[in-house]
Structure formats: C-alpha cells, structure tokens
Amino acid sequence: MRGVLDRIARAGHPPMHALSPDQAKRAYEAGAGVLDIPPHKLARVEDLEMPARDGVILKARLYAPASDHPLPVLMYLHGGGFTVGSVATHEPLCRHLAHLAHCAVVSVDYRLAP
C-alpha cells in the first residue's frame, strides 16, 4: 500500500476535494494507471447490459479466465466515492483479480453522483 500512496503523491494531482465534480472525474481517469498492474490476457472479456429496477440500463463488463468448469463470480464495484471512476478506470485491476483468483469478475458501471 505504501508504494501505491507514494505513486499517487508523485503524480502531483490536486486533492479531489479541491476540484469540481467534472475536474475530479477527469483527474481520476487520468490517474487510473497509478497502480501499475501488469496486463493479463483472459479467455473472455465481454461488455454486458443489466436492466435496473427503474428501467435504466447499467453497463457492466465480464472478465473470465479459461476454465473447463463453472467459475465462481466476484461482483466488483469500483472505488471513487460514488462520484468518480468507471469500468474503464478499473479494467487492469479486474483483469488482475480474475487472473489471480481464477474466477469470473463482473465490474458494474453504476450511476455516479451528482
């Protein structure tokens, strides 16, 4: 964790609370690679659509390694305080989780505030 915090500090981005919502979203997207996670090829990466109770269609992405057997599923809700982040900003992490845990990962692109 210390390494992640050091990379964040070296990036020199202003603190999120000092930014407008739009600026914070752009800054978060620009800094998404700070974790420096190695890319993993997976057998299956698929964009999905899931209907919410109110009729809105939520986007999601499925990541799954090759397997001859049914895989357990991890449902991933990205960080960002429900205001920033997306499936795209957390793709390397979700690929990494699917690879290391040998499970399917469904990353939900939930609606953000405001």
pLDDT above 90 as % of the chain: 57
Write down the pLDDT at residue 57. Answer: 96
Range 10-23 average pLDDT: 80
- With pLDDT > 70 as the criterion, what percentage of the chain qualifies? 92
Q: How far is the C-alpha of 80 from the C-alpha of 88, rounded, in Å?
A: 13
Residue 32: band (very low, low, confident or very high) from pLDDT cuts 50, 70, 90: confident
pLDDT of residue 54: 96
Domain ranges of the chain: 2-109
pLDDT above 90 for 65: yes
Distance of CA 86 to the CA centre of its chain: 6
HEC string of 67-91?
CCCCCCEEEEECCCCCCCCCCCCCH
More confident residue, 70 or 39: 70
How far is 27 from 21, CA to CA, in rounded Å? 10
